[in-house]
Structure 1
């Protein structure tokens, strides 16, 4: 296991962190995953107030005793932004109690996704005044934020200079947040990548087309290598539903050097395949088509279509597309069949794409069962 400095926190974290959203089945399941993670060299465990009973299960494991001394192990929990300080103060107290901890190494404002959330953070008597008070009394050592929000909100949150780290989405198949990675690095913030296996493409169950294109590597391994080769990134979340799911990801935990010529060759093959398969229908994700009068997240819909057409990543596309209209600010936007063919987006598209036709095709390909978040 390799370790990296988590930005200005100066914590040295394992390049993989144990994420706890998916081990919700029972306390025994959680303890097994925690024990194996620690034995494999993971020294950072990340949870959240909203992850079902995750804090409670982690707290039971901490109370029972872990194999790594407390001063060598780092815990993060995340709490949603609140409009006023009292709620945040109460939530922090509750999380510390559930976790059986005297202090948190890191506290993340969870889901700083909208301009309204950012206003709550910036308000004089908002949630950050409570956070600052617990930093002052030593119960929280470092403060950051997690986000599923648009790039503009992420950049604005980073520019508040309130935060020492950021948890965000960034993968080979989703590079929209590259400017946020760059700004965070400039400000010496720790960078934590959310769910690269799942949100990064459901790469633990890749389609055969993608597997063939990635040979001699697996798609999951390549995505991890894409991220680990970037020294601006500190740590990647690995969120097993059970202990066994830790084994395959951690096979690359020591492979954090520059991309090899063989790996670069595969990435070039993937780019070539996308250009050939999509031809003149390729959306390059410039976001110039927004805003949409019907609030369709056009670039994200067309990104999912890109992946389905180029790499047969249809199951992943259906999984993410099913979240539209069902996940609120965590995954905003209406489904593509809401398009009225008003034409507002057409003159703004530098590639002159027939966006209404592509939206209709995306909906036909990807519309399936309604998606939902694991937790509310």
Structure 2
């Protein structure tokens, strides 16, 4: 008889550190402490009026029943159009689906294509949830270090990780937490490897509309159309459209995978929120193009502010991000120092000290498989960026 209450698969499984730090910051704020929350993975901005109006209209029109598992027909048709335009390859409505956030789309994808015995290659650092979802599917994540290469993928190093057990790889561009954007040439080479070794590619492009010129986002299917048959594209409305709390994500994949995801989702969530589906339809209207462009312009300005301030702090080298809204500076030079007699032993202790004494919330790089860096979101009000990074600088100057 099993005495453990929890299943074996939950041993060593913990919650998201990004969510945890964000929630701790909110709790301190609720207690009256002014915490600058650099842990947030969302823009500090309201959803556009047109999107909110569409949700209200859906409520008033009685759109409160169950829908098809992967979304209403109008939304799936619109998603198919959007993905077809992005890739230059035709996608039908039965090759796309809507989910309760991109995180659910990623989980569904992992769960239906990977199984025990499989290996899945993930560039490191990585978004905290990616390896955990691979493990939940019973597969084994295999990490490709990129820190020595400016967080860009070395395709030769990737090729050397492929074994007979390798089933797929997960790519995220623009990248969370580093902000790098993968080049067309690198993605083309990866696509050729995937086809040569019969690998499935999960391609997470949730930040695709948040790229700073002259950098350009590249979709792997557009670059190599043959990849459509082995690629699951993942998209989100959380970032560009300021809809993080709405939980609005989508995916595009071969029909067999879409059908399997529909079967899975029918047993775990029935369907995404009906009202959010109508809001998503409104989000894709041309009227919101200016809203998204305005968000990008705002983030470009905030990126410049954050970079200027971080570069003034001694010993914090930082790759300039080409996309998303994060800085990922190297803080390892601080580990040999002390704060009021207490040694800064590692990045986790640094994050604790910054929260307790400087009242700024950052996410330690250990959450992303990189224990020498921290993630700083600059998608917060400009005055908060200045206040928070000024405090960070003061904290560093106080170290001995």
TM range (shorter): 0.3 to 0.5
Highest relative contact order (Cα 8 Å, sep 6+), 1 or 2?
Answer: 2
TM-score w.r.t. the length of structure 1 is 0.38
TM-score w.r.t. the length of structure 2 is 0.36
